[in-house]
Structure 1
């Protein structure tokens, strides 16, 4: 039975403190692996995903669905504080659908056992472009909520 393809993405969030209780920052993304291994690079440094760049796959081994596994890496610059994907004041990612589209194609998974990891499962079964809106929280600052900008653009692999 065919299984989902997987794209592993490391997210470095650089948190900056602007005032006593005002935080912000930026994120950079890097694709760290995939299944199948020869999928190719489909994620850029802004997190944008272009499945049109993916290599062809064996449909007897893999289906249309893609699991995007985003893992928060330690901060590299700025005000250093632990960050986790949002859970208390919002969800770790929202999906922004195109005109007339539906987010039913997606599943966002988070586990308390792995707060640094966020998985977005995309059925990738249509030809629409979607946006992901990730969000993090600062546990040591009352789960201060930061929505990441810019949105991640996910271009489909199909061209129906």
Structure 2
């Protein structure tokens, strides 16, 4: 397993993986960025994340290898069908999985997503439109959704 860091507008991202795919992308607030050379297995992920933050990429095309249960992987695969600039509710995810009753399990799997941004768990919101939990913090979730929004509004204050 190889690891690198990427400075972003939201702080440092730690990216881990190998030739089998990306296994983790997480916010690493307490990680000291050394600027070391990026391992070859992670170069494409770093490049695509840079493009995402510069608004030249709206879809990722990377080999992913997250660790999780079969159900979690099913949820994470479903999350990847939520298009850039769109949101879905936890209930919609459960319905897509074929069982509206699995809403809590789907929400739990969403919260355990090990590959932030690339598997877009930040696009999942509460049924009432609220910004519910995000492992990276609600401020980051809000920023990501605004970053992806096709509607740009000026700040009032």
Query: Normalising by structure 1, what TM-score?
Result: 0.30
Which one has the bigger helix percentage? 2
Which one has the bigger strand percentage? 1
Structure with more relative contact order (C-alpha pairs < 8 Å, separation 6 or more): 1
